[in-house]
């Protein structure tokens, strides 16, 4: 998927969390959506687990690489750019992270866990996991390829957002 990141998993999770927190803050207060505008990603309330803890959980229990998370961020950007009703807000972010992470893992890793395992790790039922994954795939138009340019642009974007150079070795 491109050059490996030169940061520890803990540091990378902090960087990604800061970027996602900025994205949520930039969206401000969500306008009331009609029933037709609601998606599988919209929850009734924000998750009880922080984004940082959720990312740590996904990476710890799946043993997937940081690069899978970069792929997930590429997918999140694509969805955000093409789907007007799906915003990064507290009510959607965990489901968006989970579904994009699973899609990225299945596309970019040599192994993937079962949907049952991803559901348990992500804190959703198997049927919800399947709906989220399929919805994410449809919203991505089943285009899961991540070019080296998209990968490096995403790294540059998240590191620029929090003023950390991608060349900096943080281990």
Contact yes or no for 27/88 (Cβ under 8 A): yes
Residue 33 lies in a domain: no
pLDDT at 170: 39
List, for residues 23-82, the tens digit of each pLDDT value: 888 776 555 555 556 677 767 777 899 999 999 999 999 999 899 999 999 999 999 888
Residue 95 lies in a domain: yes
Residue 143 lies in a domain: yes
Which domain CATH number covers 105?
1.10.472.10
pLDDT at 32: 58
pLDDT at 34: 56
pLDDT at 2: 47
List, for residues 79-128, the tens digit of each pLDDT value: 988 887 788 888 889 999 999 999 999 999 988 899 999 999 999 999 99
How many separate domains does the chain show? 1
| Spacing of C-alpha 66 from chain mean position | 11
Residue 55 has which token pair?
Answer: 């990312």
Residue 31 lies in a domain: no
Residue 34 lies in a domain: no
Which residue range is the domain that position 47 belongs to?
9-26+40-161
144 exposure class (CB count in 10 Å sphere: 0-12, 13-18, 19+) = middle
Q: Would you tell me how many other CB atoms lie within 10 Å of the CB of residue 41? A: 25
Residue 3 lies in a domain: no
Contacts of 156 (CB under 8 A, 6+ apart): 166
Q: Which long-range contacts (CB under 8 A, 24 or more apart) does 55-62 make?
A: 55/13, 55/16, 55/17, 55/97, 56/10, 56/13, 57/121, 58/97, 58/98, 58/101, 58/121, 58/122, 59/9, 59/13, 61/121, 62/105, 62/113, 62/117, 62/118, 62/121
How far, CA to CA in Å, does 88 sit from each of 31, 48, 73, 83, 132?
13, 16, 12, 11, 15
């Amino acid at each position: 998927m491109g050059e490996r990141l030169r940061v520890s998993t803990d540091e990378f999770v902090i960087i990604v969390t800061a970027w996602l927190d900025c994205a949520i803050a930039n969206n401000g207060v969500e306008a009331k959506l009609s029933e037709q505008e609601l998606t599988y990603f919209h929850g009734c309330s924000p998750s009880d687990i922080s984004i940082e803890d959720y990312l740590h959980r996904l990476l710890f229990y799946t043993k997937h690489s940081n690069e899978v998370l970069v792929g997930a961020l590429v997918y999140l950007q694509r969805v955000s750019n093409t789907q007007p009703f799906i915003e990064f807000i507290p009510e959607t972010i965990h489901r968006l992270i989970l579904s994009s992470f699973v899609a990225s893992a299945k596309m970019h890793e040599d192994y993937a866990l079962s949907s049952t395992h991803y559901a348990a790790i992500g804190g959703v039922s198997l049927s919800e996991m399947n709906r989220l994954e399929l919805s994410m795939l449809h919203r991505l138009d089943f285009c899961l390829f991540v070019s080296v340019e998209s990968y490096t642009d995403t790294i540059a974007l998240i590191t620029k957002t929090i003023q950390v150079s991608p060349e900096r070795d943080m281990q």
